[in-house]
Amino acid sequence: MSPDEGPVEIVVCLGSSCFARGNSENLALINSHVQSHGLKAMVRMTGKLCQDECMQGPNLSIDGEVYHGVTPARLLGLLEQLGGPDRGQHGTS
């Protein structure tokens, strides 16, 4: 991520199905990862109500790319691709 790109936007579905299927844990994992890796200035996290894709949940998006069935392990891999303040760019996909 170059400095003029702005923050990475992570949108977490907070609908009851996604939240019960794992987004409650995913939300805590995102917060923990952002704090422990000094990414607070690089990440903008928001929540949205149901996106009508409940059967594929838990769902979230990172910079507009939607991910379905996001487990904590998969989410950690996605978060690690964000890079860090010392790298100045996203990791590779």
pLDDT value of position 82? 84
Q: Measured over all CA atoms, what is the biggest interatomic distance in the chain, rounded to whole angstroms?
A: 38
Per-residue model confidence as pLDDT tens digits over 12-52: 999 999 999 999 999 999 999 999 999 999 999 999 999 89
Give yes or no for a contact between 51 and 15, defined as CB atoms under 8 angstroms apart.
yes
> What distance in Å separates the CA atoms of residue 81 and residue 51, rounded to the nearest whole number?
25
Give domain status of residue 41, yes or no: yes
- Which pTM does this prediction carry? 0.82
The answer on pLDDT for 5 being more than 80 is no
pLDDT class of 89 with cuts at 50, 70, 90? very low
Helices 24-36 and 72-80: crossing angle, nearest 10°?
A: 30
Q: Is 91 within the bounds of a domain?
A: no
Residue 89, in any domain of the structure: no
Nearest CA to 55 out of 11, 13, 92, 87 is that of 13
Report yes or no on 85 lying in a domain.
no
CATH of the domain at 15: 3.40.30.10
The total number of structural domains that make up the chain: 1
Domain extent at residue 32: 3-80
